[in-house]
Amino acid sequence: MLEKARKIQEKFNAFITLADSISFSGKGKLAGVPIAVKDNICTKGMLTTAGSKILANYVPPFDATSVEFAKAAGAGIIGKTAMDEFGFGTFSTNCAYGIPKNPYDPERSCGGSSGGSACAVAAADFPIASIAESTGGSITCPAAFTGTVGITPTYGLVSRWGLIDYANSLDKIGPIAKTVYDAALLLSVISGHDEKDSTSLNSAKTDYTSYVGKECKSMKVGIPKEYFSDQVDQRIKGAVMQAVDKLESEGVSCEETSLPSTELAIPTYYIISMSEASTNLAKFSGLRYGLQQEFDGNVQDYFTEVRTAGFGDEAKRRIILGTFMRMAGYRNRYYLKALKVRQKIINEFNSAFEKYDALIAPSMPILPPKFSEIEKLEPAQVYGIDVLTVAPNLAGMPTISIPFGTVSDLPVGVQLLSGQLHEDKLIELGSLLEVLR
């Protein structure tokens, strides 16, 4: 498997670090299964950079809880996957260690920020899954772009202990795999209460694979019209509506609904996430860990030099913008107002899930773009591409992205959304779509 992983690395650059050897211990649910881990999730004794030069030499002395759970279930860590620096990106083009390439077309993006995780799963011809992470769509996006299955769980279902934070109130660890069953299996293993994480939900371990293939005929699914705007490629809309037709042919009731605050999701998300990111990244100053330089006695100059050398352009942009939005005189105008809008978005979703078991929408508004196309985009245009994923992440609710056919030989993802702790409904519907596609 390692030799095959090296060939994947040579061709697609899916990894930042590959293991020298894979150690499998135990005889649990993942016995003998290699697991790729996003590089912002700590792995004991293995380089963990979060895609940034400022952590170029950081080797954690501990495993993140999700990694610990996977190892206890018999999995072995095959490597750490390429990602946008600290999760700051939509296309994994902001990685300090090379850009992962899409197995469908190496001239195109795998999506981000968990692009390397999805790339490794999509390119492998052996059983593999990945522990990935999402803040505003970083599991759904790469899953859609690579034809894999990605589950973004309810906030707090999987412990964040050992995650190098982007935005504490938004970050979620979840699986990317080849099939719904495989993703449900990995989620079953890595989820569960963790006393080390104050945001961890006190919920019992669940076998999510038991929901694969269950009857869905009594379910009611909403189609939010705002998720089918002019921003969405018509061919993608067509593929999603085909999925709707397939569900209806199996007795699932589907009807149009509305989430009017969707248009507010992008500015709300970026105000909150950048504000939290600027705080989280303050600790990377060249003192305790990561990049260090020779100290000349001036603390302020030292911090500036280390952070200038260690952070990439997008990280610097988000630090500056986030700091601005938290400043006295601007905090009420931006950050606190964004928190109020976030609650409005949550309320809309909660109202929708009083009526519907799930919602269905495109995973992404565009097909995987070429790198030459991405280079022409302004930052605000890149942020806008997250329009279909940031709202559910703001609400802390679970989603699943299912590959559903291709357009011009490129994969299309269908996104299912449900209320908090209703991963069961997503897996039931997702496994049905997997059979019908």
What residues are annotated to the active site?
38, 113, 138
User: Which residue, chain included where needed, has tokens 């593929």?
Assistant: 239
CA angle 385, 132, 247 (to 5 degrees): 65
- Nearest to 166, CA basis, from 214, 94, 259: 94
CA angle 209, 213, 214 (to 5 degrees): 95
- Tokens for 312, please give them: 């990439």
What's the CA gap between 346 and 331, in Å, rounded?
A: 21
User: Which residue, chain included where needed, has tokens 């412990």?
Assistant: 159
What's the CA gap between 374 and 363, in Å, rounded?
A: 19
- Nearest to 188, CA basis, from 424, 394, 428, 357: 424
Q: No. of H helices and E strands in the chain?
A: 14, 13
What's the CA gap between 176 and 150, in Å, rounded?
A: 4
Residues 6+ apart with CB under 8 A from 134: 114, 140, 152, 171, 172, 174, 389, 393
What's the CA gap between 10 and 7, in Å, rounded?
A: 5
What's the CA gap between 14 and 5, in Å, rounded?
A: 9
The answer to whether the beta carbons of residues 134 and 152 sit under 8 Å apart is yes
What's the CA gap between 419 and 352, in Å, rounded?
A: 9
The answer to whether the beta carbons of residues 167 and 184 sit under 8 Å apart is no
**Sheet arrangement for strand 34-38:** 15-18, 76-81, 34-38, 129-134, 172-177, 149-152, 399-407, 410-417, 358-362, 220-224, 253-257
- Nearest to 384, CA basis, from 230, 278, 237, 258: 230
Instruction: Extract the runs of DSSP E, i.e. beta strands, from 180-328.
Output: 220-224, 253-257
Secondary-structure breakdown of the chain: helix, strand, coil percentages, each rounded to the nearest 5 = 40, 20, 40
What's the CA gap between 55 and 49, in Å, rounded?
A: 5
